A = this chain, B = another copy of it.
Amino acid sequence: MNEDLKLKDWLNENRARGTRFLQRLVQEKSTRGNESSAQAIIIEKCRKLGLALDIWEIGDEELLKHPAYCSDRKDYSGNPNVVAVLKGKGDGKSIILNGHIDVVPEGDINDWTDDPFSGHIQEGKMYGRGTTDMKGGTAALLLALEAIIASNIKLKGDVIFQSVIEEESGGAGTLAAVLRGYQADGAIIPEPTNMKVFPKQQGSMWFRVSVKGKSAHGGTRYEGINAIEKSMLVIEGLQQLERVRNARIDDPLYENIPIPVPVNIGKIKSGDWPSSVPDIAIIEGRIGVAPHERMEDVEKELEAAIDEVCVKDGWLSENIPSIEWFGGRWQPGNLESDHPLITTVGKAFERVTNKEAIIEASPWGTDGGILSNVGHTPVVVIGPGVTASAHDANEYIFLDDVFEAAEVIALSIVSWCGMVEE
C-alpha cells in the first residue's frame, strides 16, 4: 500500500525532529499542578499542524458534580486541557487520540542516575519521568498525525487529539473533555502496553485506611497500643484480599498477568516521635477493578476484608479503622472482543511489524474507562514502552518503539477514518 510506505518514509526522515520533540516534552516537569509548560509545547505543535485548537481550564460545575468526578484538586487554573481536531472530509468514522500530560512525582532522587527530567539519550533509550507514562505515547500520536498531514493523506473521519491533565489522579481531564462533547466512533490511548492491544482495562480506586492506636511513652510501650503494629494486621488483610480476588479471575486475556487486579499499598505514615507509641497510622493504596466489576462492589469487598481483620483482634474490634475512598478513581474498560476497532489496530500492527498482534487485558486503569463508560466511545489501549518502567526511577523508553507506535497509529487512523481517494 502506497500510503503505508509514505508514512514509514516520513517517520524515518523525521526521527531527529520527533526525538527532539519528545525530549522537550520530557524536560518539562509536568507533575500535578505543573502541567502548563508541557501543554504549551503540545499547543505549539498542534498549531503548526493546522489543527483546530480547543484550550480550556477544566473545573466547571458540571464536572465537579458529575458522579464519575473524583479529585481532591482545588485549583485547575493555569493548567489547561488541550484538544486539537483534524476535521475529516465527511463520511468516515471519527477517532479520539488521547494522551495525558501529567506525570507522577520522581520519587527518591538518589535512585536516579541522571536528573529525572533530563531527557538524556543513551543506547537508543530516552530517560526521564514520563518518557514511558506517557509522553512517548503522546509524541507517537502527534507524529502519526503529522506523518498523515505531511504525506498529504486526506481523511474522511475526524481525528480528535486530546492532551489531558489529571490522568494519574483519577481522570478529571478526560472526563472534562467528554463533558465538553468530545465523543467518537473509536479511541486509541497509547499508554505503555509494549504494543500489545488492550481492549479491556483494569479500573482502580484509591483508598485510605486510618488505624487507631493508643499513645504511651516508648519505655512503657505495653501501656499503649502501637498503631503501626495494628496497621500491619490491616496490610496483611489487604494482601489476603488480593489473593482471594485474583484467584477468582478466569478471563483468558489475563492469562499472562501475574496479578490481574492488584492491591497496592502505596503509602504509610505513622508517629511523630521515636520514643512515643504512635496513636494513628494512615495507609493509602490502590485497588484494581476487573473489567466486569462494578466499583461499588469492590469498595464493599475491601471494607468487608478489613472488618474481618477487626473481628480477630481485640483492639481493632473496639476501634474499627476508618476507610475513605478518595482521590484517584478510574473506571474499568470492557470492549467486546469482536469490536472492529480491535481488528483495525491489530491489522495495522501486523502490517508494520510482520508479527501477530497480542491481545490482552491491561493490568492498570486508564482514562479509557471514562471514555467508554461516560463518553460511550469504544477504546483500545496500545502504546510504546513497558509498564515496569512507568512510575519507576530511571524511567525510559526505546526511541524505536515510539516511532514504531507512531507508524501503527498512523495506519490505524487511515484505516479507521478512511481515506479520500485522489
Contacts and interface: CB of A to CB of B under 8 A. Distances in A.
Interface of A: 104-105, 107-108, 111, 133, 168, 202, 204, 206-208, 214-224, 226, 228-229, 232, 235, 239, 258-259, 262, 264-281, 284-286, 288, 327-328, 362-365, 387-388, 390-393
B218 A259 contact: no
Contact of A218 (B215, B264, B278): B264
A391 B228 contact: no
Contact of A266 (B235, B259, B274, B364): B274
B133 A217 contact: yes
B268 A269 contact: yes
Interface of chain A, helix or strand or loop or mixed?
mixed
A392 B216 contact: yes
A268 B264 CA distance: 17
B265 A268 contact: no
Contacts of A220: 259, 262, 363-364, 387-388
Contacts of A111: 215, 279
Given A265-B229, A328-B274, A286 B364 contact: no
Given A218-B204, A286-B218, A264 B275 contact: yes
B387 A223 contact: yes
B392 A215 contact: yes
A391 B270 contact: no
Given A104-B276, A284-B274, A387-B223, A392 B268 contact: no
23 contacts: A107-B272, A133-B217, A168-B273, A204-B219, A206-B274, A207-B274, A215-B393, A216-B388, A216-B392, A219-B363, A220-B363, A220-B387, A221-B259, A221-B262, A223-B388, A226-B264, A229-B235, A232-B235, A265-B278, A266-B277, A266-B278, A267-B278, A269-B269
A270 B268 contact: yes
A147 B89 CA distance: 100
Nearest to A218: B264
Given A218-B204, A279-B107, A388-B220, A266 B262 contact: no
Nearest to A281: B268
B258 A222 contact: yes
B270 A274 contact: no
A264 B258 contact: no
Contacts of A218: 204, 262, 264, 266, 285-286, 364, 391
A271 B277 contact: no
Contacts of A207: 274
A286 B206 CA distance: 33
B285 A215 contact: no
A286 B275 contact: yes
Contacts of A133: 217
Contacts of A364: 217-220
Most B C-beta atoms less than 10 A away, residue of A204, A223, A388? A223
Contacts of A387: 216-217, 219-220, 223
A280 B267 CA distance: 10
